[in-house]
Structure 1
């Protein structure tokens, strides 16, 4: 597996940024509040998203505070990222603010256990596309096959991560962008069609989700970094493709 360390990524990132962030640039809110399991990879996920966003001249704020989900604050952002959130993280008023943000044309990006979040909020489940069901034991290898409209697109790339099974197959309600191959690892329960990443236009805004991102080491995988970058561009409305 090709890898890129965060220090090297930082050097590359800084070399592409011509100056400080300005008020006109898109802002991204990376939300990492957890009410259940907390991933050790959260700090790395935030650092990686900050660097990727910086390369695209986007400013990133991280928050653990659900009170930041209010209309006035969310209006400052182009994208809200749920990065390994878990459990019930927003109350009813905060949920309404998030719904209003999307309906006003905002973008959502969900990473890994964003699908293990807010099971009692049906709108959120539709936004993400599918809820987490369970996962195989440990970290396992699988090829990740990019696709577009059901057709493989480009070469598969290898990943070693926690490979989620979902409560439902989202294909048909979202645009699947990548699958994993259950024949190559043990514990998959979704069969021959196992989406692991997807996107869709939703309720006036945009949503992109990846089931990858559990393990800290996966954030050194160049293909995964490209995967996250494309998700960020789509969620921000900068790319029609996801």
Structure 2
């Protein structure tokens, strides 16, 4: 019984990797350079980056945190993301490099305050397809965001999303044919759209940590990243919570056999040693006195 129990433990340990979370690999996915320079709320930016790193691991893209200086060399970068960036963060060299990158098909994703990041750069307004009015002065309010179907960026986002933000408004607003509206408030004001001239996507929400914790908003952002990168295939999850598919590779099978075999040998040796100790203990015990007969 003891031997059987030990063998069960060995087998369980050998098979544990079959049920352990698989490491998510971003090999082959787009590389995203994300900037948070000049943001007004570092705690929100930090939380957003934390959530985006999780998305990157699960959905096969690579997230690289950077600064405006990194825009001067964008080799190996597929998407530049301005996450709640502040105003006037780029110098002329960085603007020229970003312009060249986007003109030859590079991707761009921006959220929240990034709409007002470069107010004096005409190309930036062309890229966004809209001009943000002065930063929001109204307090944050909860609004319903409705998504429009027909775009890979909004695929699967069928229900309205309730978001509490200090909302940005635009004049001029994005409009066809230069832009495709992806989401709007109940008032009709657009809050997410993509450019038809560049691989550029913008979402007005993202100024609060609660928004970055919303599953639907993260889906919108990751699908926006995928679209901006020019990816044509389906966005496939590579979740750390997913077990590997069966059957496993021969390497894994051989690993299990090796561990189980080694464990079996170890159990056999332990049982042999234990039996030997029991035998030696029995031999060392003094012999019992013979029974005494009555009347002798």
Task: Calculate the TM-score normalised by the size of structure 1.
Answer: 0.78
Root-mean-square deviation (CA), in Å?
Answer: 2.4
Q: 1:206 to 1:16 in 2, by over 3 A?
A: farther
What residue number does 1:175 align with? 180
Distance in 1 between residues matched to 2:175 and 2:233, nearest whole Å: 19
Q: 1:87 to 1:137 in 2, by over 3 A?
A: same
Distance in 2 between residues matched to 1:129 and 1:240, nearest whole Å: 26
What residue number does 1:137 align with? 138
Distance in 2 between residues matched to 1:149 and 1:57, nearest whole Å: 24
- Superposition map of 1:72-221 within 5 A: 73-133=73-133, 134-135=135-136, 137-148=138-149, 154-172=158-176, 173-182=178-187, 193-202=188-197, 205-221=198-214
What residue number does 2:13 align with? none
User: Quick check: 1:78–1:106 contact (8 Å CA) kept in 2?
Assistant: yes
TM superposition outliers: structure 1 runs of 4+ over 3 Å: 14-19
Equivalent pairs, count? 207
User: Quick check: 1:80–1:109 contact (8 Å CA) kept in 2?
Assistant: yes
- Where structure 1 has 5 or more consecutive residues not aligned to the other structure, the ranges are 1-13, 183-192
User: Quick check: 1:149–1:176 contact (8 Å CA) kept in 2?
Assistant: no
User: Quick check: 2:71–2:98 contact (8 Å CA) kept in 1?
Assistant: yes
What residue number does 1:49 align with? 52
TM-fit CA distance, 1:17: 4.5
Moved more, 154-163 or 170-179: 154-163
- Specify which structure has the higher proportion of strand: 1
SS at match of 1:45: helix
Deviations 1:59-95 (A, max 9, x none): 111113x22111xx21210000000111111111111
Larger radius of gyration: 2
Distance in 1 between residues matched to 2:150 and 2:191, nearest whole Å: 14
Q: 1:122 to 1:17 in 2, by over 3 A?
A: farther
What residue number does 1:190 align with? none
